Amino acid sequence: MSGVAFLGMSQDEGFIYGKITTIDDKSFEGPIRWGKEEVFWTDMFNVAKEENNNLDYLTREQRKKLEERHHWNNGFVHWVSSRINYYRSDSYDHTHQFVCQFGNIRSIKPTGRSSVEVTLQNGDKFKFKGEGYNDIGTNVKIIDAEIGEISFDWGRIEKIEFSSTPRLTKKFGEPLYGIVETYAGTFAGYVQWDHDERLTTDKLDGDTSDGDLSIEFGNIKSIEREGYNASRVVLKSGRDMKLRGSNDVNSENRGIIVTSDKYGRIDIPWEEFKKVTFEDKAPGKMKSYGDFKHQKKLEGTVTTRNGESHKGRIVFDLDEESNYEVLQGKRDDIEYIIAFGDIKRITPKNYDFSDVELKNGQKVLIGEGQDVSDKNTGILIFKSGGDPVYVSWEDVREVNFN
Supply the pLDDT for residue 95: 57
Q: Is residue 86 domain-resident?
A: no
Q: Are residues 246 and 301 in the same domain?
A: no
Close Cβ partners of 372 (under 8 Å, ≥ 6 residues apart)? 327, 328, 329, 346, 348, 353, 354, 356, 366
Contacts 24+ apart (CB under 8 A), 50-53: 50/95, 50/127, 50/128, 50/129, 51/93, 51/95, 52/93, 52/94, 52/95, 52/96, 52/318, 52/319
* Domains held by the chain: number: 3
Supply the pLDDT for residue 112: 87
Burial class (CB in 10 A: 0-12, 13-18, 19+), 144: middle
Q: Are residues 225 and 311 in the same domain?
A: no
Q: Is residue 388 domain-resident?
A: yes
Q: Is residue 5 domain-resident?
A: no
Three-state SS annotation for 6-19: CCCHHHHHHECEEE
Q: Are residues 187 and 154 in the same domain?
A: no
Q: Which residue segment(s) compose the domain that 243 sits in?
A: 177-278
Q: Is residue 9 domain-resident?
A: no
As a whole number of angstroms, the distance between CA 84 and CA 254 comes to 25
Supply the pLDDT for residue 88: 32
Q: Is 71 left (phi over 0), alpha (psi -120 to 50) or beta?
A: alpha
Q: Is residue 202 domain-resident?
A: yes
Q: What is the pLDDT of residues 266-315, one digit of tens each?
A: 999 999 999 999 999 888 899 999 999 999 999 999 999 999 999 999 99
Q: Are residues 145 and 249 in the same domain?
A: no
Q: Are residues 126 and 21 in the same domain?
A: yes
Distances (CA, A) of 168 to 7, 9, 18, 174, 399: 14, 8, 12, 11, 42
Q: Are residues 303 and 216 in the same domain?
A: no
Put simply, whether the predicted model's pTM sits higher than 0.85 gets the answer yes
Q: Are residues 254 and 338 in the same domain?
A: no
Supply the pLDDT for residue 193: 98
> Block means of pLDDT (10 residues each) for the chain, length 402 residues?
46 96 97 95 91 82 78 40 35 67 97 92 91 87 96 96 96 96 96 97 94 96 95 97 95 97 95 97 92 96 96 95 96 96 97 96 94 93 89 96 96
Q: Are residues 32 and 114 in the same domain?
A: yes
Close Cβ partners of 71 (under 8 Å, ≥ 6 residues apart)? 77, 78, 79, 80, 86
Supply the pLDDT for residue 51: 76
Q: Are residues 200 and 241 in the same domain?
A: yes
Q: Is residue 74 domain-resident?
A: no
Q: Are residues 42 and 112 in the same domain?
A: yes
Question: In the listed set 278, 307, 331, which residue is the last one of a domain according to the structure?
Answer: 278
Supply the pLDDT for residue 197: 97
